[in-house]
Amino acid sequence: MDTQRLIIFVVFSFGILMLWDTWQKDQHPADVAQKTISAPASVPTPTPVPGEKLMPAAPPAVAGEVLQYGSRIKVKTDVLNAVIDTNGGDLRRLELLQHKDALNPEKNFVLLEEGSGKVYVAQAGLIGAGLPTHKTVFQSSAGEYNLASGQNELKVRLEWADGKGIKVAKIYTFHRGGYVIDVAYEIQNQTSAALDPFAYYQLLRNGSPPAGDPKFVSTYTGAAVYTDKEKYQKVDFSDIDKEKINYPRYSQDGWIAILQHYFLSAWLPKKDMRREFYTKRVGEGMYAAGVIVPVGVVQPGATKQIAVPLYAGPQDQDKLSSLAPGLELTVDYGWLTVIASPLFWVLSSIHKLVDNWGVAIILLTVMIKLVFFPLSAASYRSMAQMRILAPKLQKLKEQHGDDRQRLHESMMALYKEEKVNPLGGCLPIVVQIPVFIALYWVLLASVEMRQAPFMLWLQDLSTPDPYYVLPIIMGATMIIQTRLNPTPPDPIQAKVMKVMPIAFSVFFFFFPAGLVLYWVVNNVLSIAQQWYITRRLENAQAGNVKR
């Protein structure tokens, strides 16, 4: 098998796998929630940990309960528009002002929302007899809050009282320029008995992938848990359906999140705070992922506060690592992370110099090509030698006809005589394949590519080329590469090689423009290198230059 066929085989197989994954999703789509959706079957029940004091039981579930609507509180900062519902004090809508919608660039991207076939909200509540949950109605002194000029944080206070001496305030704190929202409970106990409550913080989401998710490319939508001991673990919605728990339930550190392409939301309890993680199916196609933390004993006449930050925003790798250990792992490059992470660092470093992600991709491609230049040269040299031997191989094929054994023996004798290794170009390409695939995931998973312009008609490197110019150019470069390669002796293989460039051009119609740009530049550089090596060897063979 020559090198070009190996490359095509690997890329073709990769494309088929992605197409199969997409077809499976189309055949078994996740259920989409309607406007009125099922709420969690009950307030989470803390599970006793061996050796620890038994946590209090949760209130019983109410059959047929739904997500209720109260008064709306609008909050605006320099980077967020938020809507809080007084029913439960839920964060029901979160609009990111610095990110545009995938389907309509005239609108801002909305991460958390309810209705229009999507449910994704942040909820919290207290566990303890008579204490407010995510189904309790709070009161607010205002219906609108705005972060003023020169103001670094904005607090939204919701209040509840049982009329018997217990008062609870739910306090949201928004920060200038940030996507971290502190969600705190302030518990005032004016009764004669001590309270020992727990707080739960959860994300409620339906299982549908986000609108505008790339076609023919598999991206992850689901939950994830991180602890220092067990590290990063995905919790797929299908695993939640099956009640599979492979993540640690109890820990002194870590976070829980729900991820989708380019964005995430995550509860980030403080370090050394005892916590219990949970995931559960709470309705048809509806899932909750959350964490339970102890508030501590609130003595009569005392007031106690607990806060857990919520991050809800883009998967910005430079910022995630500073928020919580392991949070940067939500930008998941899979099993090639060890290669992909350094590649992204190099790519982002180049971007800081040129301030254009398209130019950065081109320069990174050139750098990778230079690193692998010796390996590529060996591969193309082997292919050029096979091209020179092609007439002799064809003659042997005509001599031996259908006698494959004698044909094989004669070909091996010819290779030995000419000192040619027919597989000499394979190993260099095999070494490069992990780098190519890692770069593929870097360009696919990095939110920095989202809606990043390059030039002219390419105004979003994360979406397909709107006019298919790059895929057509890529197809043309593949045709040129095919003509530089030796013609396969098998007529069927020869026909397949001619059809491959067209087939791959069609595949790349649906790939993000940044990925196609990489392949085009890589192909152009490969053509130049292969043409030079082939021409030099052919001239040497003709006696025009010394070997």
Residue 256 CB contacts under 8 Å (≥ 6 apart), including other chains: 203, 223, 224, 225, 226, 266, 267, 277, 279, 289, 290, 291
Provide CATH code, domain 31-332: 2.70.98.90
Instruction: Identify the bridge partners of residue 257 per DSSP, sorted by sequence position.
Output: 224, 266
Local structure of 218: helix, strand or coil:
coil
Please report the pLDDT score of residue 244 as a whole number. Answer: 85
Distance CA 444, CA 517 (A): 13
Please report the pLDDT score of residue 53 as a whole number. Answer: 45
Please check whether residue 127 is in contact with residue 46, taking contact to mean a CB–CB distance below 8 angstroms.
Answer: yes
Reported pTM: 0.78
> 435: which 2 tokens?
């780098």
Strands 144-146 and 72-76: parallel
Please report the pLDDT score of residue 121 as a whole number. Answer: 95
Q: Which of 514, 454, 451 is nearest to 98 (CA)?
A: 451
Q: Which of 347, 382, 256, 303 is nearest to 1 (CA)?
A: 382
Beta strands, E only, 284-372: 286-294, 303-314
Instruction: Identify the bridge partners of residue 126 per DSSP, sorted by sequence position.
Output: 199
Count other C-beta atoms under 10 Å from residue 305's C-beta.
Answer: 14
Tokens 């791959």 found at: 504
| Cα atoms in the 13 Å half-sphere on the side-chain side of 416 | 6
Please report the pLDDT score of residue 387 as a whole number. Answer: 62
Please report the pLDDT score of residue 460 as a whole number. Answer: 82
Please report the pLDDT score of residue 196 as a whole number. Answer: 92
Tokens 């870590």 found at: 254
Distance CA 25, CA 197 (A): 42
Q: Which of 293, 344, 290, 356 is nearest to 320 (CA)?
A: 344
Query: What are the φ/ψ torsions at residue 407 (nearest 5 degrees)?
Result: -60, -45
Distance CA 48, CA 362 (A): 56
Instruction: Identify the bridge partners of residue 139 per DSSP, sorted by sequence position.
Output: 159
Please report the pLDDT score of residue 402 as a whole number. Answer: 67
> 344: which 2 tokens?
């992204």
Helix axes of 426-445 and 373-400: crossing angle, nearest 10 degrees? 130
Strands 90-100 and 72-76: unpaired
Distance CA 330, CA 114 (A): 24
Please report the pLDDT score of residue 17 as a whole number. Answer: 43
Mean pLDDT by 10 residues, the chain (547 residues): 44 46 39 36 58 43 57 95 95 94 87 85 92 93 91 95 93 96 95 92 90 70 92 91 88 94 94 91 89 93 94 90 90 82 90 91 89 71 64 68 68 65 59 78 83 84 82 83 64 65 74 84 82 68 52
**Residue spans per domain, the chain:** 3-17+342-542, 31-332
Q: Which of 167, 170, 168, 166 is nearest to 158 (CA)?
A: 170
| Cα separations in angstroms, 388 against 420, 486, 535 | 11, 8, 11
